[in-house]
Structure 1
Amino acid sequence: MKTQVLCFISLCFLALSCADKNSQSAETEIEENVTASSYFDYSGSDDQWTGGVRMIPIETPKGTFKVYTKRMGNNPKMRVLLLHGGPGGTHEQFGNFEGYLPDEEIEYIYYDQLDSYYSDKPNDPSLWTTERFVEEVEQVRQALGLHKDNFYLLGQSWGGILALEYALKYQDNLKGLIISNMVASVPEYNKYAQEVLGPQLPQEILKEIQHIEADKDYANPRYEELLMTHFYTEHILRLPLEKWPKSIQLLFEHLNPEIYVYMQGPSEFGIIEEATLSDWDVSDRLKEIKTPTLMLGAKHDTMDPEYMEWMATEVQNGRSVITNGSHASQFDDPDTYFDGIISFVKDVDNGSF
Structure 2
Amino acid sequence: MKKILFISLIFAFFSCKKSEDFSLKNYHTFENKDDQYTGGIKMIPIKTPKGTFKVWTKRIGNNPKIKVLLLHGGPGLTHELYESFEGYLPKEGIEFIYYDQLGSYYSDQPKDKSLWTNERFVEEVEQVRIALGLNKDNFYILGQSWGGILAMDYALKYQKNLKGLIISNMVSSIPLYNKYAQEVLGPQMKKEVYAEIMQLEKNNDFSNPRYTELLFEHYYTAHILRKPQKDWPESITRCFKHINPEVYISMQGYSEFGITGDAYIKNWDVSKRLKELIVPTLTIGAKYDTMDPEHMKWMATQVQNGRFLYCKNGSHLSQYDDQETYFTGLIQFLKDVDEKKI
Q: Same fold (TM over 0.5)?
A: yes
Q: Does 1:80 align with 2:72?
A: no
Query: Whole-Å Cα distance in 2 between the matches of residues 175 and 246 of structure 1?
Result: 33
CA contact (8 A) 2:62 2:95 kept: yes
The corresponding residue for 1:203 is: 191
Structure 1 residue 274: deviation in Å?
A: 2.1
CA contact (8 A) 2:23 2:63 kept: no
Q: Does 1:314 align with 2:295?
A: no
Query: Whole-Å Cα distance in 1 between the matches of residues 179 and 98 of structure 2?
Result: 32
The corresponding residue for 2:340 is: 351
Counterpart of 2:319 (choices 316, 330, 334) is: 330
CA contact (8 A) 2:152 2:167 kept: yes
Amino acid at match of 2:328: D
Unpaired runs of 5+ residues, structure 2, are 1-16
Q: Does 1:215 align with 2:203?
A: yes
Q: Does 1:340 align with 2:321?
A: no
SS at match of 2:285: strand
Greater mean alpha carbon deviation, residues 34-43 or residues 196-205: 34-43
Amino acid at match of 2:239: L
Using structure 1 for the length normalisation, give the TM-score. 0.90
CA contact (8 A) 2:201 2:255 kept: no
Deviation string, structure 1 residues 73-101 (Cα, Å, up to 9, x no partner): 00010000000000001000001100000
Q: Does 1:272 align with 2:260?
A: yes
Counterpart of 1:237 (choices 225, 232, 235) is: 225
Counterpart of 2:118 (choices 130, 138, 143) is: 130
Query: Whole-Å Cα distance in 1 between the matches of residues 248 and 235 of structure 2?
Result: 19
SS at match of 1:155: strand
Counterpart of 1:62 (choices 41, 50, 60) is: 50
SS at match of 1:59: strand
Structure 1 residue 44: deviation in Å?
A: 2.1
Structure 1 residue 333: deviation in Å?
A: 0.3
Deviation string, structure 1 residues 281-330 (Cα, Å, up to 9, x no partner): 00000000000000011110000000000000000000000102000000
CA RMSD of aligned residues (A): 1.4
Matches within 5 A, 1:1-353: 33=21, 37-323=25-311, 324-353=313-342
Using structure 2 for the length normalisation, give the TM-score. 0.93
Amino acid at match of 1:350: E
Query: Whole-Å Cα distance in 1 between the matches of residues 255 and 58 of structure 2?
Result: 29
CA contact (8 A) 2:253 2:262 kept: yes
Moved over 2 A (4+): 32-37
Q: How many percent of aligned residue pairs carry the same amino acid?
A: 66
SS at match of 1:80: strand
Query: Whole-Å Cα distance in 2 between the matches of residues 76 and 35 of structure 1?
Result: 9
Is the alpha carbon distance of 1:230 and 1:37 closer, same or farther for their aligned partners in structure 2, counting shifts above 3 Å? same
Unpaired runs of 5+ residues, structure 1, are 1-28
Query: Whole-Å Cα distance in 1 between the matches of residues 123 and 87 of structure 2?
Result: 31
Amino acid at match of 1:174: L
Figure out how many residues of one structure are paired with residues of the other and give that number: 324
Greater mean alpha carbon deviation, residues 260-269 or residues 314-323: 260-269
Query: Whole-Å Cα distance in 1 between the matches of residues 36 and 329 of structure 2?
Result: 31
Query: Whole-Å Cα distance in 2 between the matches of residues 187 and 199 of structure 1?
Result: 18
Amino acid at match of 1:352: K
Amino acid at match of 2:327: F
The corresponding residue for 2:5 is: none
Query: Whole-Å Cα distance in 2 between the matches of residues 155 and 73 of structure 1?
Result: 19
Structure 1 residue 36: deviation in Å?
A: 6.5
SS at match of 2:201: helix
Structure 1 residue 49: deviation in Å?
A: 1.1
Query: Whole-Å Cα distance in 2 between the matches of residues 266 and 273 of structure 1?
Result: 9
SS at match of 2:38: coil
Structure 1 residue 43: deviation in Å?
A: 1.6
Query: Whole-Å Cα distance in 1 between the matches of residues 255 and 83 of structure 2?
Result: 22
Query: Whole-Å Cα distance in 2 between the matches of residues 331 and 175 of structure 1?
Result: 26
SS at match of 2:36: coil
Is the alpha carbon distance of 1:149 and 1:61 closer, same or farther for their aligned partners in structure 2, counting shifts above 3 Å? same
Structure 1 residue 33: deviation in Å?
A: 4.1
